[in-house]
Amino acid sequence: MLHRRERSRRLQTRAEKFIPGGVSSPVRAFRAVGSEPPFIVCGQGSRLWDADDNEYIDYLGSWGPLILGHAAPSVIATLISAAQKGTSFGASTPAESDLAELILLAFPSIAKVRFVSSGTEATMSAIRLARAFTRRKYIVKFEGCYHGHADALLVKAGSGIATLGIPGSAGVPEEFTQFTLALPFNDKEALETAFSKFNQQIAAVIVEPVVGNMGCVPPARGYLECMRTLTRDGGSLLIFDEVMSGFRVALGGAQELYSITPDLTTLGKIIGGGLPVGAYGGRAEIMDLVAPLGPMYQAGTLSGNPLAMAAGHATVNYLFEHKEIYRQLDKLSSQLVSGVARAATDAAVPVTYNQVGSMFTWFFTSAPVTDWKSASQCDGEAFGRFFRGMLERGVYLPPSQFEAAFLSAAHTQADVEETLAAAKQAFALVHA
């Protein structure tokens, strides 16, 4: 059944008069999947509705924050109550300590945490803090990992291993990326080469311990352990960017799942329950460098905003009180992911997949995806046809092959069965 698009089309035309591309973030323009973006007007549980009253089963979950689903009752009730007391004070509130306390409980590596308003601010601040603590300049990141749009992190990999990054965006002077190394993910040798070449000069390694931004790619066995050893021996800090994986792949994130203790952790998404939030935290001896205690400056008008703290606390507190959610999410996600992969095989469409808990990606390629090189071999056209076929059948996937999809605690067995039925039809279109 072809979805109506008239109202969304009109809304897109209107939005483009005021906003570049009509979107507040590029990926929402659906350019990567050759589709017109529906304008969303409502979300409830596992479902979304667009301006033309089309209904979708949502596997985007606002790019990760909505592990409890849309408009979760406990979150909304808390939010309404908080909003009735005001929206922002620019002053300390009890709500910040309430959420901070839960974060420290879930993440033993975090002795102190600072709230900001986005994941970008969190990683940008963590990098600055690592440089302040180590008094070093070089940063290591990985191809295919995204940590927000701070200049120093918008780099493309330089040619060859352990060569400095080149700006990945217009407007970023090469001087701003000259201390950023972009290495292949899951490549121990590249990491060892970088540490020997830039011996004792590396301030920090920042990594998505479970990558979401090239699609879902888990760390190879022993890889994070190797990273931990090299950074510790090299006097560098290990920053786990858990903006996406924090409270997602486990209550204590990837560091709990893989038993690795980073020096700094960045968080976002789930800890705001759908409101703007980010956070960075770690050992007290590092965090005590942050102003007003120390010389590393970072600030924000809406940092620790009472509504974001309230929605985040309601979400995280619910997860603490219902830890069985993680087993349930893993079970239902496994059924969904393997079921869709089976439908691809039945339709002779080459698809592999990666899944870590309720974070997953179907890759349109026949080879395993373990890094950016293998991810970039995917057939983007085929993914686009599948995406459009699913959207037309009421299934809302992330509008890019290189993004993770998410299942929430609001998704049901019936949602999965409906999705599998849609996938069988959508795969038939991929080669049509």
In the complex, which residues of this chain contact ligand KE4 (CB under 6 A)? 25, 27, 63, 118-120, 123, 146-148, 208, 212-213, 241, 243-244, 268, 278, 403
| C-alpha dist (Å) from residue 19 to 11, 12, 13, 29, 62 | 12, 10, 10, 11, 20
- Residue 164: Cβ within 10 Å count: 16
Specify whether the CB–CB gap between 141 and 147 falls below 8 A: yes
Nearer to ligand KE4, 118 or 231 (CB): 118
Residue nearest to ligand KE4 (CB): 119
Q: Annotated catalytic residue: which of 138, 146, 280, 318? A: 146
Shortest Å distance, C-beta 244 to ligand KE4: 4
Whether residue 272 contacts residue 311, with contact meaning beta carbons closer than 8 Å, is answered with yes
Q: Name which of 246 and 306 has its Cβ closer to ligand KE4.
A: 246
Distance in Å, CB of 62 to ligand KE4, minimum? 9
DSSP 131-159: HHHH---EEEEETT----S-GGG-EEPPS
Least distance (Å) between residue 24 CB and ligand KE4: 8
> Would residue 17 show up in a list of annotated catalytic residues for this protein?
no
Residue closer to ligand KE4, measured from CB, 404 or 422: 404
Q: Is 269 a catalytic residue?
A: yes
Judged by beta carbon, residue 378 or residue 422, the one nearer ligand KE4 is 378
Which residues lie below 8 Å from residue 78, measured CB to CB, with a gap of 6+?
A: 310, 311, 313, 314
The answer to whether the beta carbons of residues 322 and 369 sit under 8 Å apart is no
Q: Tell me the closest approach of the beta carbon of residue 262 to ligand KE4, in angstroms.
A: 14
CA distances from 233 to 137, 192, 261 (A): 17, 11, 14
Q: Which is nearer to ligand KE4, 12 or 118 (CB)?
A: 118
- As a whole number of angstroms, the distance between CA 35 and CA 388 comes to 7
Task: Out of 58, 138, 258, 269, pick the active-site residue.
Answer: 269
Find the shortest distance in angstroms from Cβ 192 to ligand KE4: 24
Tell me which of 58, 187, 241, 263 is the catalytic residue.
Answer: 241
- Active-site positions? 146, 241, 269
